[in-house]
Structure 1
């Protein structure tokens, strides 16, 4: 307490001595307070308090421009505060109704050394704060190039943090847990926990025609924005009127409130699509896991995965088991040379695209198309309209895109730079024209744009489940970190649902991508029950049951996946702790689906079902770890328990290390 009091006194004294208050805005519940200030010399800063406790100390704001004086010293022209409160509906998601309520401070500024003008718009929500910069139409500023965005986040504590290193092209790394002072440069969302348990997650919203923001360590617990550069070293090329993405700080008193935040969605523009009836969340299967295991290959040959015969088998399985879609990767020629016309438009000799599409249509099963660009953006953009047109005629309205190019695109630009941001958006908008839903791998990070373009369904943007097939894999701790970091940004196509978790059922030969024999020792690092839980916990509106269908055939646990819905009316975060455990309940119509998962530690979980409708009897079917389940030695042991429950029932679960439970709760018939 003495340390906190000293920090607060010093901060207030410094503010009184050197700062001129521009404006203050508070959250609707009056818990969060954001202050914008100017020094006597015109330096702009902001700060954030939770009640009276500092969360972000005065933090500098400004821009360095190319061949122009920097925008770092201002005078205030005007400032005003307004309030907004409205509820809106999403066409799909974790919940149908979202409350958008905030208080906004709008500050009009002028550069002290010129007539250039800039606005700062800052909003305070109950679940965080956000601000963006706007460059209005003006004579003093037209076209300009941003060389550096000097947005600081001067955290009040050297807090515990969870992060992955920034590299401008990939998010596929394992999370680290350190103090803030130990980081160098990290991707967002960047989540920290203060000593009193308060959680902050720094990210951005509505990333449009701008470079992605990473965070660079300055000193102590102070961070600064570091934008992903163009090849020429510049960051953003702009023309007025222009505005930046929102810089966001989600704030919560506990982990379950952090996960429940709708801040990013609320900061995006409403949908640009008047008709969203064609956008339908779904479960899907595919030959993808067999390819990653080395059983099949993408390219043509004796082990080619996407054959007409295998496609028919997967379509039949989907039809029989309430799975709405099937993904066929490697159906096309040109895998040796990405970017050619064959790589996008010409089926392989053993795959009859028209026959497969017609059969799928007859069975009421959706085909998910696959476009791997290999990072050759020019080639993909030259073919993509033809691709989408052909897909549309065949009744294929979902596409998985891929951008495997670890060192950037073939033109030298980065995935996460302004060039990449604009390319990904171009594809989303073109897909909407042809009524196509997208699942992007190696994507630009999610910033809530699914509100504006609801056909942008899901994306990878983190280290997914395929790493378990051919590397040291993803630990249970890693997948317990995702809900509090990557998934705060939006849905993720992690690809859960592996039943043969230790690969013990496979008795054939496996190969790596180069055709060499695959070495042994790889596996999934959870129990089977945890794989079911992941289907609920790791949300995606296009949710893949990722295992080969041979491992699902006749398996009693697959009944949970058969029953699972992936488009929800409501979601409750029952309990959670960062990187340790989470229990999530999601409602589709009158049925609830619950996923409970833990990290490497076994744990007892208890929670009351008070979210159920009162005076109604339900049946709960619980798929959970068995008494002898061990993720290393006996991972596929599980048990199914059925019991009657109501809104006063308390469920007690025993989760094995790296384990979980998946539950279906449905009302009994009258």
Structure 2
């Protein structure tokens, strides 16, 4: 009998260990995560006790054969509750960020750990290791399984003609397709959005990406998505062209060589009970590593001009326009006139492949002196490959010129070596107190918290696409607020002043049109987040409309707080942002005319002087038609927002 009892207890212990389960709920109790350790580690997620993420596998395999799932017996569980406030030094959404979550840490006996965090607006997990020396990661399993065949909004990679599929500019329109219609042939980058008709919507992305490849996603014709990662670059080749790049010509059979003791990127699921919960979500920022820049007092956000999209095609001037000294002085005068903090000197100011071979039509000393006399800053575009080769001497020269902001472009990768490049450049720019923006780059993934001077990234199909395509549609523009902004601030470069209907639109370099109304272009400066906002329109046209430009020039680029007043995925979004005692409200619309009624009950007591810019009565046929008016409003009032197809709305509320 004793022998039978001992056998039974041993069997019961084995079953308990083989099927260990732990639950952790969000602070408000609405979201519940269940972690189950059996033959594999799986997690599932419930919202109001309804399953929204089915049991999904987590694993990591090293090249020496060790793997996370081999250590699931007899795990150690620890939990903690956290309630803190993050103060953002460069607040693209809000200064004070509540950071409240419950954490479950599962420590395995084979030196792997998995950490889960459950927030009121999402869940996240990351793998950590505590191994000596260096390790090589062969593969990672990151599964996202769902209980039904939900629609998914995803930006699919278009395979390049002369490189492998992991090379992309991270600039694609959104495809909408049910989960079961997504196969392993479809590769896409995050953020993506799983959009059930009834259940909460779920954004999938990552945070705190360091010394490791970024996460693409793919499917397998199931109700699931799976992480997919660019293998390590075994060989790289440099192209020799106008915009030279370094591409991967041979891949290794592993993902990363890295420190044995470290934490890997967070896998993030943003959970939104309502559509309007998505655009203001900052979970990715909260999960990122804190700032590594001790003093950020030199980081000065603001607006800038950019001449590249219109190819410096200004008019009504007594000189030949182009990439030359006179044109840049004209841009400096324009920036001064309308309160822009700086101008951009985009591609062409130097040889793209040699930053010290300056365009002979440019006198940098004269431009620098003129900008300084006007109190306008100068920022410079660089090619990433060239900046990498000339980094320290280039940054020293920029500092001598008084340049406080640089853009670097055409990385077009997110494998481990590419990710390391971002850290190298950010650390160097911090030493020289120069702000930074990456183009031809993947989403920020919280990088802007770790390096507050790295204010934003492109990673978006924006205004430049109007030069050669009709992809920047009103529907696309609206979706960006719900999906792309989950990954961090973006550089769309709005402000196009030549506006067209779909019938009248033509992709046209030099005289670039937008597929939106003029007012939507204005509202983008409020709805889209970037501490450095570029005005990409034609300044010569802007000078003819000073009232419009003065209103645009008054819009801040960092904010005390943000509220989404109304939103419907892919249809429209209405965003309110506060700076000091002023409020700014911006609305973007898809291609269907609509009227919204928005209460102002979020305002404090008292009167506000409102300057309103709205679609003109003929904006459906002539999209550059707009109307600016003045009103006095209080918290008891409602805004009636009439939106033309592709339309917008913007109001500034001042005491």
Tell me if TM exceeds 0.5.
Answer: yes
* Number of equivalences: 602
Separation in structure 2 between the aligned mates of residue 333 and residue 482 of structure 1, nearest angstrom: 33
Q: Mind listing any 5+ residue stretches in structure 1 that lack a counterpart?
A: 1-15, 111-115, 296-301, 409-414, 504-509, 513-517
Q: CA deviation at 1:204?
A: 0.3
Match of 1:583 among 564, 574, 577: 574
2:405 is aligned to 398
Say if 1:580 and 1:76 are closer, same or farther in 2 by CA, change over 3 A.
Answer: farther
Deviations 1:130-163, CA, capped at 9 Å, x for gaps: 110000145xxx4332222112111222112111
In 2, Cα distance between equivalents of 1:51 and 1:277? 44
Q: Judge conservation of contact 2:589–2:647 (CA < 8 Å) in 1.
A: yes
2:240 is aligned to none
Mapping 1:601-612, distance limit 5 Å: 601-612=592-603
Of 607, 622, 645 in structure 2, the residue corresponding to residue 634 of structure 1 is 622
Alpha-carbon offset, residue 331 of structure 1:
4.8
CA distance in 2, matches of 1:356, 1:181: 57
Of 201-210 and 436-445, more deviation after overlay is shown by 436-445
Shift of residue 294 of structure 1? 11
Q: 1:581 to 1:511 in 2, by over 3 A?
A: closer
Report the alpha carbon displacement of residue 304 of structure 1 after superposing the two structures with TM.
7.4
CA distance in 2, matches of 1:75, 1:17: 9
Q: Is the 8 A contact 2:230 2:255 kept in 1?
A: yes
Residue correspondence of structure 1 range 401-480 to structure 2 within 5 A = 401-403=408-410, 415-480=413-478
- Per-residue deviation, residues 437-495 of structure 1 (Å, max 9, x unmatched): 11111013210111111001011002121011222241100101111111111111101
* Alignment-derived partner of residue 7 in structure 2: none
Which is worse superposed, 656-665 or 471-480?
471-480
TM-score, with normalisation over the residues of structure 1? 0.86
Would you say the 8 A contact 2:278–2:483 is kept in 1? no
Partners of 1:511 and 1:187 lie apart in 2 by: 29
Counterpart residue number, 2:645: 657
Cα RMSD (Å): 2.3
Structure 2 residue 132 is the aligned partner of structure 1 residue 135: no
Contact 2:114 2:126 (8 Å CA) reproduced? yes
Distance change >3 Å, CA 207–CA 304, structure 1 → 2:
farther
Q: Which structure 2 residues correspond to residues 195-274 of structure 1 after superposition, within 5 A?
A: 195-230=197-232, 231-274=251-294
Deviation of 1:306 (Å): 2.3
The normalised TM-score by structure 2 is 0.88
**3-state SS, counterpart of residue 635 of structure 2:** coil
CA distance in structure 1 between the partners assigned to 2:88 and 2:577 by the alignment = 15
Indicate conservation of the 8 Å contact 1:307/1:331, yes or no: no
CA contact (8 A) 1:501 1:528 kept: yes
2:160 corresponds in structure 1 to none
Cα distance in 1, alignment partners of residues 313 and 486 from structure 2: 30
1:54 is paired with a residue of what secondary structure? Answer: strand
CA deviation after TM superposition for structure 1 residue 197, in Å: 4.4
Q: Distance in 2 between matches of 1:151 and 1:289?
A: 39
Q: Tell me the SS of whatever aligns to 1:628.
A: coil
| Corresponding position: 1:600 with 2:591 | yes
Tell whether 2:562 aligns with 1:571: yes
Local SS of the residue matching 2:390: helix
1:65, distance to aligned residue in structure 2 (A): 2.5
Q: Does 2:37 match 1:38?
A: yes
The answer to whether the 8 Å contact 1:625/1:661 transfers is: yes
Of 541, 563, 575, the match for 2:531: 541
The CA deviation at 1:293 is 7.4
Alignment of 1:247-326 (within 5 A): 247-291=267-311, 305-326=322-343
* 1:149-228 pair list within 5 angstroms: 149-166=140-157, 167-168=165-166, 169-183=168-182, 184-228=186-230
CA distance in 2, matches of 1:416, 1:325: 30
Instruction: Note the residue ranges of structure 2 that are not aligned, 5 or more in a row.
Output: 1-14, 158-164, 233-250, 502-506
State the SS of the aligned residue for 2:278: helix
Give the C-alpha shift of residue 543 in structure 1: 0.7
- Distance of 1:293 and 1:18 partners within structure 2: 70
Q: CA deviation at 1:587?
A: 0.9
Please name the residue that 1:364 is paired with.
375
Corresponding residue for residue 61 of structure 1: 58
Which position in structure 1 is the counterpart of 2:391? 384
2:497–2:513 Cα contact (<8 Å) kept = no
Pick aligned residue for 2:68 from 49, 68, 71: 71
Give runs of aligned pairs for residues 49-128 of structure 1, distance below 5 A: 49-73=46-70, 74-93=72-91, 94-110=93-109, 116-128=110-122
Q: 1:272 to 1:161 in 2, by over 3 A?
A: same
Aligned equivalents of 2:618, 2:500: Cα separation in 1 = 16
